[in-house]
Amino acid sequence: LAKTTQPISMDSYEGQEVNITCSHNNIATNDYITWYQQFPSQGPRFIIQGYKTKVTNEVASLFIPADRKSSTLSLPRVSLSDTAVYYCLVGPGPYGNKLVFGAGTILRVKS
Amino acid sequence: DTEVTQTPKHLVMGMTNKKSLKCEQHMGHRAMYWYKQKAKKPPELMFVYSYEKLSINESVPSRFSPECPNSSLLNLHLHALQPEDSALYLCASSRYSGDGDEKLFFGSGTQLSVL
């Protein structure tokens, strides 16, 4: 399984763009990169998923370089409500759905 | 309907009790998961059911017993738990299409306290 490494925490201010990078050096050919957001006492929520290059949706962008050994989640103009833990998952792994969470990044947005 | 529903939301049990956690989804997903999450830690994978068959068991103690009665339901039976088993138990589902682009849909969890 591809192991992921993220910064433990990041601080930002409202209105700024936040970029969170995830390292996954041993990503497999069939693996996708998926990011989740989690608030306290809630289940994680899907944010964005990509395989290569750039993906954008209404809440975030995901940048994946050609070698796919890392990825960057970009949150434009964050607000206080974006304070949460962000997880990068790489999978599905050899079973097709062994989806294991790494340590995650605590994002604190300040006013 | 993109919801995964978990019941109960909170559960307090003694070490000799038997209880069950329930999870339901109506998205037609063919994979269902149990995760355990301790405070300030990431979710930890426990079990995966694929097409109603147990496909992954992450060496979970036998006091946790999963069951998948049909494609929409997932149960976790609890017996003789220890205080260190107190945690948030999360259920999730995904399509399991074979294309690799699995996306997990989570319930809001059951907060379990073992006394």
Terminal Cα distance for chain A, rounded: 39
Percent of the residues in chain A that have a pLDDT greater than 90, as a whole number: 83
Q: Tell me the nearest-neighbour CA distance from B68 into chain A, angstroms.
A: 17
**What's the pLDDT score for residue A104?**
96
More confident residue, A104 or A94: A104
SS3 A43: coil
**What's the pLDDT score for residue A1?**
67
Q: How far is CA B3 from the centre of its chain?
A: 15
Is the predicted pLDDT of residue B2 greater than 90, yes or no? no
- Of B109, B105, B115, which is closest to residue B81 (Cα–Cα)? B115
Is the predicted pLDDT of residue A24 greater than 70, yes or no? yes
Contact B90 A43 (CB under 8 A): yes
A69: left (phi over 0), alpha (psi -120 to 50) or beta: alpha
A45 at B interface, C-beta within 8 A? yes
pLDDT tens, B58-115? 899 999 999 999 999 999 999 999 999 999 999 999 998 878 889 999 999 999 999 9
Average pLDDT of the residues in B19-36:
96
Average pLDDT of the residues in A41-60:
95
Q: How confident is the model at residue A98 (pLDDT cuts 50, 70, 90)?
A: confident
Interior angle at CA B59, CA A5 and CA B86, nearest 5: 80
Largest CA distance in chain B: 44
| CA-based nearest residue in chain B for residue A99 | B45
**What's the pLDDT score for residue B1?**
65
Question: Which of B88, B104, B111 lies closest to A99 in CB terms?
Answer: B104
| CA-based nearest residue in chain B for residue A105 | B42
- Of B94, B109, B87, B99, which is closest to residue B28 (Cα–Cα)? B94
Q: What's phi and psi for A2, nearest 5 deg?
A: -75, 125
B53 at A interface, C-beta within 8 A? no
Beta strands A45-50 and A53-56, pairing class: unpaired
Length of chain A: 111
